[in-house]
Structure 1
Amino acid sequence: MKETRTVHLVRPGDCNHYGSLFGGTAMAWMDEAAFVAATRHARAKVVTVHADAMDFRHPVPQGSIVELVASVKAVGRSSMRLEVEMWVEPLEREERTLACRAGFVMVAVGADGRPVPNQ
């Protein structure tokens, strides 16, 4: 599986005093989506070893639906490069806007925590 999609509802506890999604929460959701996509690809325990600069393009208001799309872009011996996009969709209308994009590198590891080849 090369792509993973997850959906979140942006709740009040996810937001700052401006009523928009905390950047740290966005980062955590994106890292989790990358983790799931990498795990599906490797069928092994994976860990995050790098996150590229996150490009925040659009605020994510409270009450929105957020869809995260994580894609495996390149595969090394034990590493995988992934891209994650965060799309925001208001509840009251059918439109989607790219809110954030970031790259991640995940590595498949064994029980000893050392890198293992991807399956």
Structure 2
Amino acid sequence: MNFYTRKWVRPEDLNANGTLFGGSLLRWIDEEAAVYAIIQLGNGKVVTKYMSEIVFVSSAREGDIVEIGLVATRFGRTSLTMRAEARNLFTHRSILTIDEVVFVNLDEDGNPAPHGYTDITYARDRVPAAHRA
């Protein structure tokens, strides 16, 4: 799994216990997963369909840096399934794991659409045409 995105835990990200609020972390993961799906599917129109059980293993405190890692595990006809993990950059201790995050590729009308991919790309060759330089 590659960890590309890092987030700094700030005061507004904390819960009443002074630790990272789970909702903030899930928002960060969903956003990063959307970006990952856009690059993997070559389409700027994707939506979150499903997240499996979310397992909080530990927490983070103000000033910590959280790394978010994703890896594609399965390509469906119109979907992409990935695994997610968030960990503390300093300790490498896992904060959260999600076995399945599913995104669906959409057409111009917002309907599920086949994407035609079966493997992970590590290049930028699938960046949507509208966003290429």
Q: What is the TM-score of this pair, normalised by structure 1? A: 0.89
1:89 deviates by 2.8
Instruction: Considering fraction of residues, name the structure with more strand.
Output: 1
Cα-to-partner distance string for 1:31-69 (whole Å, 9 max, x where unaligned): 111111111100111100101111000011111000001
Q: What is the aligned partner in structure 1 of residue 10 from structure 2?
A: 11
Q: Which runs of 5+ in 2 are unaligned?
A: 117-133
The alignment of Structure 1 onto Structure 2 pairs a total of residues equal to 114
Counterpart AA for 2:38: T
Q: Using the aligned pairs only, state the percent identity.
A: 32
2:100 paired with 1:108: no
Q: What is the aligned partner in structure 2 of residue 41 from structure 1?
A: 40
Q: What is the aligned partner in structure 2 of residue 51 from structure 1?
A: 51
1:5 deviates by 1.9
Q: What is the TM-score of this pair, normalised by structure 2? A: 0.80
1:74 deviates by 0.4
* Aligned-CA RMSD value: 1.5
Say if 1:59 and 1:6 are closer, same or farther in 2 by CA, change over 3 A.
Answer: same
Contact 2:75–2:81 (CA under 8 A) maintained in structure 1: yes
Aligned pairs for 1:91-102 within 5 A = 95-102=91-98
1:19 deviates by 1.4
Q: Which runs of 5+ in 1 are unaligned?
A: none
- The structure 1 segments of at least 4 consecutive aligned residues displaced by more than 6 Å after TM superposition are none
Contact 2:3–2:67 (CA under 8 A) maintained in structure 1: no
Cα-to-partner distance string for 1:13-34 (whole Å, 9 max, x where unaligned): 0001211111111111111111
Say if 1:43 and 1:4 are closer, same or farther in 2 by CA, change over 3 A.
Answer: farther
